[in-house]
Structures are given as C-alpha cells and as structure tokens.
Amino acid sequence: MDLRGKRVVVTGGSGFLGRRVVAALRARGCAEVFAPRSAEFDLREKQQVIAMYGTLRPDVVVHLAAVVGGIGANRAHPGRFFFDNLVMGVETLEQARKHGVEKFVGIGTICAYPKFTPVPFREEELWNGYPEETNAPYGLAKKMLLVQSQAYRAEYGMNAIHLLPVNLYGPGDNFDPESSHVIPAMIRKMEEARRAARDEVVLWGDGSATREFLYVDDAAEGIVRATESYDAGEPMNLGSGMEIAIRDLAPVIADATGFRGRIVWDTSKPNGQPRRGLDTSRAERAFGFRATTDFATGLANTVQWFRANVPL
C-alpha cells in the first residue's frame, strides 16, 4: 500500500508510541495523518466512534489507543483495563468495517501470551494457555481484537491485521510511579535516590523474571512497515530479540543513571510473567523488520530525556 495518497487515522496518536507512528507516516510522505484525542472522540462511546469516522473519513486506521500500565496499575484497575480496551477495539473495528476502511491495523500486546509460553514466544503459541494473572484482563481484552479482526476477514473480506509489540521504552515514556512500566519506573527510582543521596532503592519482585524491550522508534517503524506491506490474518510479533532478567537490568539502569547504592528486592511484590522473549522471524520475513537501536543507546536517550523533562 502506498500511504502517500491515503487518509490515515492513528488512534492514540498523541501518546508515547502514537507520536512516533504519526511522524514515521509523515516521513513516508503521507500528508493526511490524523491523531484525534479522547477529548474530541471518546472511543468507548459508539456514537463518538461513528462521529470520528464521519469527520475524518480515513482510508487506513492504526488503532493504538489503549489504557495501559505496569503490574501495579493492572492489579488496581483490572475492570477498567478490561472494559475500556475491549470496547474501544470492538467499536473502532466495527465502525471501520461499516465505513469502508481499506485497512485496519490493530495493536495488541505481549500480555496476551500464556503465562508459561516457551521462549522465544512464537505466534502459534498464543492460544496455548491463560495469560499471567496480574495482566490477564488487559491481555485478553486486546486479544479479542485479534479474534474480531480474523472474524471480519473471514466473513467480510476486511483487510485487518494484528501486531504484538513487546515492552516499549524510550524518550517520552510514562514515568508516573503509579502506572509506569519497568524501565521508566527503575529510571525514576534510581534518579530520585541519586539526587537525594540515598544509599538504596527497593524494586518489585525477586528479579528473576525476564523481559524483552523494543525502542519506541523501532516499534513505530515496524508498525508503519506492516501497514504498508503486511496483509495477512496471522498475528505478528514486533520485538528486538533481546531477553534480559530484571536482576541483570537493574545494574545496567543504575549505571546509566549514576546510582551507586544497593538494590533491594521486595519479594512480597509479584514478578509478573516469568519470562518474555520473542521470536521475531515472521516480521523479518514478511516485511523486513528488524530492530536497529542498540539497547545502551536507547537507554541513554531515555535517561537524558527524563532528566530534561520530568521534574522531581
């Protein structure tokens, strides 16, 4: 698909990932890119979704809008995370079908994978078990967007695809201590401790869980490439191929922030999913996507942005 002549709506386009996707689309020469905010169109309300389509008249929709957070936020708000994400996906895709959208790009989550998925996660393992309990409501709500996409492809011939990005990080991330994910949460804790000359930070769990991280600009490039070139119904992983234990990640972030104190693990708090690491070969074969940002470089950029933009 040549996106230069298309009207593209990016839901959640003012968010952390969305801003990068909008920029990547414009860099491709796509002149008509729209990033409606929730204050304009509340995607949980059917009539407002209809109004969005009537007003913006998109040819392509990239559905990034979501209610997200770390383990603490998922435990505190399982009902909200389930309902808001489910209803946004259902209504946004249904109205895309009714309004004759040419292509719908659904963005899922790595949280949809079963708790004990063998590493590296392959897309065919997606239905072989129940997600990790702390984020299951969110993961299952997003997983239903895949089901809906495949059902609409089968019945209506709709070109709806589904992407599964791994944990993202980068400049502009959410550093709120109540809702942030692991990298921004660690950066904030260690930077606060360094500035206050404290000699320890306390981190959740025992550090044994592993995660894979994808730089946000790389994720945006993968999404745009899939929008241009991927037209099949099977879900597609987007990742970096780098799995790291949280206990090994912590000293890396300590070094990046200049924190020299002790790292204490609060084992009364949950670890989340035991392991996460993706098989990204399908995306490379299908549309030539491979992450290019070195982790040390990406982390340094993130710390630098935090220091310049987040008051403590």
The catalytic site residues sit at 138
Q: What residues pair up with 163 in beta bridges, in sequence order?
A: 107, 236
Residue 214 tokens, joined: 């994808």
